[in-house]
Amino acid sequence: MNSSPSITLYGTPPSGHAHRVEVLLKLLGLPYGYVTATADVRQTPGFLALNPLGQIPVLQDGDTVICDSTAILIYLVEKYAPGSAWLPRDPETRAEVQRWLSIASAEVRFGPATARAVTQWNMAGHLDTAHAIAARLFGFMEGHLADRTFLAAPHPTLADLACYAYIAHAPEGGIDLAPYPHIRAWLGRVAAIPGFTDMAPLPLPAR
């Protein structure tokens, strides 16, 4: 592993996008600083100079600035753990990891993540649509995980880290995980990775 210059992660504790980056920093054993960038901070000129989209997470590594959670995951592995099991080199597995990173940025983001944000913080969005996207995703994942240990390979990869938080915390958006035993077993396996830490729970909505 290369030595790291000073790494800073801009995020917030309840952000699943920031969580996936922070958990990889921990699993790679990389020292980092953490700057909490709440919604007001994200609109300041200083933050917009880092990410004109005004979104967290942002990673600053010396003079390098990387925006977007899955881009940051790729950067960290390629820079500090190239060729590792987090992002295998063989074309089939790499494509499968990429597929799940895309799902993390699409179905996971607009399904369980949106349901949680609408429920917890009144974020703009349609709860019914988010629940429908989550139901379609979870139906697919339940079958996918019926005979697999992890999402993209027989071992944990970036795919599992990227998808974990918003699915594990889906009940905070009013989505019951009880009908999905294979998903719940997979969440348990990811949470059991040595050094893995979860996001803090938020209150469950009244049913």
Ligand X SMILES: N[C@@H](CCC(=O)N[C@@H](CS)C(=O)NCC(=O)O)C(=O)O
Residues interacting with ligand X, by CB under 6 A?
A: 15, 17, 42, 54-57, 68-70, 105
Minimum distance, C-beta of residue 162 to ligand X, in the bound complex (Å): 8
Minimum distance, C-beta of residue 145 to ligand X, in the bound complex (Å): 23
Which residue, 57 or 171, is less far from ligand X as judged by CB?
A: 57
Which residue, 162 or 187, is less far from ligand X as judged by CB?
A: 162
Q: What is the DSSP letter of 171?
A: G
Distance CA 67, CA 128 (A): 30
Minimum distance, C-beta of residue 158 to ligand X, in the bound complex (Å): 12
Minimum distance, C-beta of residue 65 to ligand X, in the bound complex (Å): 13
Which residue, 108 or 153, is less far from ligand X as judged by CB?
A: 108
Contact status, residue 58 vs residue 41, Cβ threshold 8 Å: no
Q: Provide the token pair at 168.
A: 């594990």
Residue 80 falls in which region: left (phi positive, over 0), alpha (psi -120 to 50) or beta = alpha
Q: Smallest Cα–Cα separation from 5: which of 44, 66, 61, 58?
A: 61
- 8 strand-pairing partners: 33, 60
Which residue, 16 or 180, is less far from ligand X as judged by CB?
A: 16
